Amino acid sequence: MPTFMDFHDDLKLPENAIDQITRDTKEGNADQFGVRQIELYYNAEGKVYCLLEAPDADAVRRHHAALGVQCGDVHEVKGLL
């Protein structure tokens, strides 16, 4: 399945949301759009990068919309390993 990355410039995540994302990621849970979080990188200033496995970029956008989170550019990416 393709891998995508998106960026959120000002997304302050509450601790309980981070905990839930961590659990879902560890368990390999996918949502109703077939999107599975691989990793999430964030800092206290609200800069967030999402690395997601998804059928396509539109599924990534629907995933964010269902969470009430605006989603900007979505880029398909490939890893080195």
| Per-residue pLDDT tens over the stretch 6-46 | 999 988 877 887 888 889 899 999 999 999 999 999 898 98
Q: CA nearest 42: which of 21, 78, 5, 13?
A: 13
The pLDDT of residue 80 is above 90:
yes
Domain ranges of the chain: 3-77
- What is the CB neighbour count within 10 angstroms for residue 70? 12
pLDDT band of residue 76 (cuts 50, 70, 90) is: very high
Q: Which helix (H) or strand (E) holds 13?
A: none
CATH 3.40.50.970 fits 3-77, yes or no: no
